[in-house]
Chain A
């Protein structure tokens, strides 16, 4: 299953609403997670099963979608949110990640 993400990068300001889209080449139900990775660090899970917020993750992060199209939304971008975001499908093997979306400061 191929995963695509758009955009590949974006520049945004603190307080902006940001939306990242992930598309699967075939239906994956809601078997999708979103991860945040900062330079030099390990990925951190933000969202599981497409729309469930990981414990401890701020509520400005939300996920939606099912089947082949998914979105990650940051309702009000904060300075600590500048990072790269990846989606992952765990519906069938081989698991596959999206290519990533880099969010940087405008």
Chain B
């Protein structure tokens, strides 16, 4: 039973356009959410995070939105660049646990 779900295994976007990656979760006790990016043959790297007390966090071209009532978060990348092509993992944690629960990942391809 996946507590963090990324239902789109892949996404293809043209350079310069917006990329929207989605993540759903089932555990209402999750209070902190993160996005990690992974290039081939490398480990995931931290990208951006958001606390459950916020509904939006922005860092340059990357913005994460959180909708607690829908148990849904999304990562927006605008404008998308070819270097953004990677696998993106959504992750979540509860206040009492020292561990992250990851989704299955979404492969983003940005084409010229």
A-B interaction: no
